[in-house]
Structure 1
Amino acid sequence: MSGSDDTIAVVVVTYNSERFLADLIASLGPGLDGLDWHLTVADNASVDATVETVRRLAPAATVVEMGRNAGYAAGINAGVAAAGPHGAVLVLNPDVRLGPGCGRELLRVLRSPGTGIAVPRLVDGDGDLIYTMRREPSILRVLGDALLGAERAGRRPALGEVVTDHRRYASEAVTAWAEGSTLLISAECWRRCAPWEESFFLYSEETDFALRAGDVGLATRFTPAATAMHLEGDSRVSPGLWALLTLNRVRLFRRRHGRVATAAFWAALLLRELSRALLRRRPSQAAVRALMSPARFRETPGPHTVRALAG
């Protein structure tokens, strides 16, 4: 394909996502208006009509049938490998809807010197701002979250991982990482940092990728000029998913820090989840059980892990 340097490979990972696809696919035209792009969908063995719906609504799309629920990172890696020539990769969750012109603005920001990943301003289904920018995980930030709550801690850079100051979302900014539902990744960043780490299965893989990009001098840059809607998942209400998210935070920290620091990070997370478990919050109760189980840290996460953690 000619002009591949300006072509965007749109990669969507699906798992029983049939209900989201019509709106997602309808948003791609206006969202990527004026750009050359192609769609690749990596399906993690959906049992609904996800694959049939993609082929009906987007007949030109490339569909990669994974044959099993291999996880988010594995789907992204397979989707990019199957995509045609491209100069950037747009990773999208199936429950994202791009705003008009979103792709052009993200591409403009991606071309800023030293930028490897560009992310938009996201809102939820009610139109409310989603706090997408993140600081690097640290022991003090987990403790700040535990003692002050994410909203209050996030207004203080040293104490909160999630950036919760609305003013920070009014202008372009560099962030350590951003939630992974809508990411435009440069070809250079992909070449230097890929593949995504598949051992996480779900959660923390986008954190790992963005932090590794930062390690080689490629920043994640937020822009409010690009907008999208993310309906968001159910990790906060699903005990199994919240427990996996919590475990993967420790696994990620362990990849970047020593044993002593990781033990302190684990203890801070346990304190945080215990404080919420005492309020009878089932996701935190599942997270506490997972954090107290050495076997959970040794196993490779997968669908079986989520079912077991839901316990």
Structure 2
Amino acid sequence: MSVTNPPTVVVTVVTYNSAAVLPGLLDSLEDGMRGLDWRLIVADNASADESVAIAEKLVPHCRIVQTGRNAGYAAAFNAALREAGEYDAVLILNPDVRLSAGSVATLMTRLGGEVGITVPRILDENGHVALSLRREPTVGRALGEAVLGQRAGRYPALGETVVDREAYFRDGRADWTTGAVMLMSRACLDACGPWDERFFLYSEETEFALRARDRGFRTTLVADAEVVHIGGESRVSPALWSLLTVNKVRLYRMRHSAPATALFWGAVFLREASRAALGHPRSRRAAVALLRPSRLPFPPPA
């Protein structure tokens, strides 16, 4: 009788001063990766804390890749991927994620063929479903969110975020999802190439998922897989919110004409400016960044 070897998954974690949250993730790996052949690569963006020492202590056989600078999420992931060797799939994780038992093996059951990316249902630390599923950015959706806020997501033509909580309890397709947890097939990564390092943080996962879709690979939610994400959008600072907002426009510009991008920029600016007028500090900072994106305080790609 032949014995089938379990799939090989390379787990990649990007760290940057992540010592406070990293132990919880590493402690969850053994149960979360149950049933799979896996190895861990930690891509460290020049942390000044004990992130690397913690990884080496808790997962002694992990591989550490040092980028030598705060290179950003995509660049660090690409650095890890260059050291990955042979694999069937790659799992990227934020250091503040906690895997549930068997969750990644469950994601693997749906990965393959046209399904190039699988993602779990994500809960926050209070057990609430995180709204992690997204539709492709469009002018109509940007305008809908400017006028209706998150309520626009109730209508597919008017909102980018999928707000129907029932959608998170059944398997289904998404144009893209938040990048805290993504399992990508070897075929998808080979066809699409590395993540786009022009995005220091935010929109890199959007760009990759849309590029994968362009090449015939779907992103699928696997509802039986569940993880906890301690961070999330609620913790995003005004500076990071500015980067998120500007990168949305940058990505749109990469995929659309100049006139369409002008309309998209206007809709995004309307959203942030209207909320800034109501006294929201994040939106005030983002509106200024949309007018002067070159002044964002983040290092450009090398």
TM-score tier after normalising by the smaller chain length: over 0.9
- Secondary structure (helix, strand or coil) at the match of 1:169 reads helix
Rounded Cα–Cα distance in structure 2 between residues aligned with 1:126 and 1:275:
30
- Secondary structure (helix, strand or coil) at the match of 1:265 reads helix
Alpha-carbon displacement from aligned partner over 1:241-297 (angstroms, at most 9, x marks no partner) = 00010000000000000000000000000000011101111111111111112645x
Structure 2 counterparts to residues 183-222 of structure 1, below 5 A: 183-222=182-221
- Secondary structure (helix, strand or coil) at the match of 2:224 reads strand
Structure 2 counterparts to residues 291-306 of structure 1, below 5 A: 291-293=290-292, 295-296=294-295, 303-304=298-299
Rounded Cα–Cα distance in structure 1 between residues aligned with 2:293 and 2:35:
52
Structure 2 counterparts to residues 1-311 of structure 1, below 5 A: 6-111=7-112, 113-150=113-150, 152-233=151-232, 237-293=236-292, 295-296=294-295, 303-304=298-299
Asked if the contact 1:203/1:245 (under 8 Å) is kept, the reply is yes
Rounded Cα–Cα distance in structure 1 between residues aligned with 2:232 and 2:59:
24
User: 1:79/1:184 Cα in 2 relative to 1: closer, same or farther (>3 Å)?
Assistant: same
Rounded Cα–Cα distance in structure 1 between residues aligned with 2:102 and 2:222:
13
Cα deviation, residue 239, structure 1: 1.2
- Secondary structure (helix, strand or coil) at the match of 1:270 reads helix
Rounded Cα–Cα distance in structure 2 between residues aligned with 1:205 and 1:220:
15
Rounded Cα–Cα distance in structure 2 between residues aligned with 1:70 and 1:177:
23
Rounded Cα–Cα distance in structure 1 between residues aligned with 2:51 and 2:85:
22
TM-score (norm 2): 0.95
Amino acid in structure 2 at the alignment position of 1:164: V
TM-score (norm 1): 0.92
- Secondary structure (helix, strand or coil) at the match of 1:195 reads coil
- Secondary structure (helix, strand or coil) at the match of 1:303 reads coil
Cα deviation, residue 24, structure 1: 0.4
- Secondary structure (helix, strand or coil) at the match of 2:35 reads coil
User: 1:140/1:224 Cα in 2 relative to 1: closer, same or farther (>3 Å)?
Assistant: same
User: 1:294/1:246 Cα in 2 relative to 1: closer, same or farther (>3 Å)?
Assistant: closer
Identity within the alignment, %: 49
Amino acid in structure 2 at the alignment position of 1:67: G
Cα deviation, residue 169, structure 1: 1.2
Asked if the contact 2:200/2:299 (under 8 Å) is kept, the reply is no
Asked if the contact 2:196/2:208 (under 8 Å) is kept, the reply is yes
User: 1:125/1:294 Cα in 2 relative to 1: closer, same or farther (>3 Å)?
Assistant: closer
- Secondary structure (helix, strand or coil) at the match of 2:198 reads helix
Asked if the contact 1:201/1:302 (under 8 Å) is kept, the reply is no
Rounded Cα–Cα distance in structure 1 between residues aligned with 2:162 and 2:196:
25
Asked if the contact 1:235/1:242 (under 8 Å) is kept, the reply is no
Asked if the contact 2:110/2:118 (under 8 Å) is kept, the reply is yes
Rounded Cα–Cα distance in structure 1 between residues aligned with 2:162 and 2:78:
28
Asked if the contact 1:91/1:184 (under 8 Å) is kept, the reply is yes
Rounded Cα–Cα distance in structure 1 between residues aligned with 2:48 and 2:26:
20
Rounded Cα–Cα distance in structure 2 between residues aligned with 1:273 and 1:4:
51
Rounded Cα–Cα distance in structure 2 between residues aligned with 1:118 and 1:295:
35
Asked if the contact 1:71/1:302 (under 8 Å) is kept, the reply is no
- Secondary structure (helix, strand or coil) at the match of 1:154 reads helix
Alpha-carbon displacement from aligned partner over 1:151-200 (angstroms, at most 9, x marks no partner) = x1111100110000011112100100000010000000000112100011
Asked if the contact 1:235/1:241 (under 8 Å) is kept, the reply is no
Rounded Cα–Cα distance in structure 1 between residues aligned with 2:147 and 2:191:
38
- Secondary structure (helix, strand or coil) at the match of 2:119 reads strand
Cα deviation, residue 303, structure 1: 3.0
Rounded Cα–Cα distance in structure 1 between residues aligned with 2:79 and 2:178:
20
Segments of 5+ residues of structure 2 without an aligned counterpart are none
Amino acid in structure 2 at the alignment position of 1:103: V
Asked if the contact 1:5/1:87 (under 8 Å) is kept, the reply is no
User: 1:213/1:187 Cα in 2 relative to 1: closer, same or farther (>3 Å)?
Assistant: same
Rounded Cα–Cα distance in structure 2 between residues aligned with 1:294 and 1:106:
38
Segments of 5+ residues of structure 1 without an aligned counterpart are 306-311
Q: Which runs of 4+ in 1 moved over 2 A?
A: 233-237, 301-305
**Over aligned residue pairs, what C-alpha RMSD do you find?**
1.6
Asked if the contact 2:78/2:194 (under 8 Å) is kept, the reply is yes
User: 1:218/1:120 Cα in 2 relative to 1: closer, same or farther (>3 Å)?
Assistant: same
Cα deviation, residue 221, structure 1: 0.4
Amino acid in structure 2 at the alignment position of 1:183: M
Asked if the contact 1:4/1:87 (under 8 Å) is kept, the reply is no
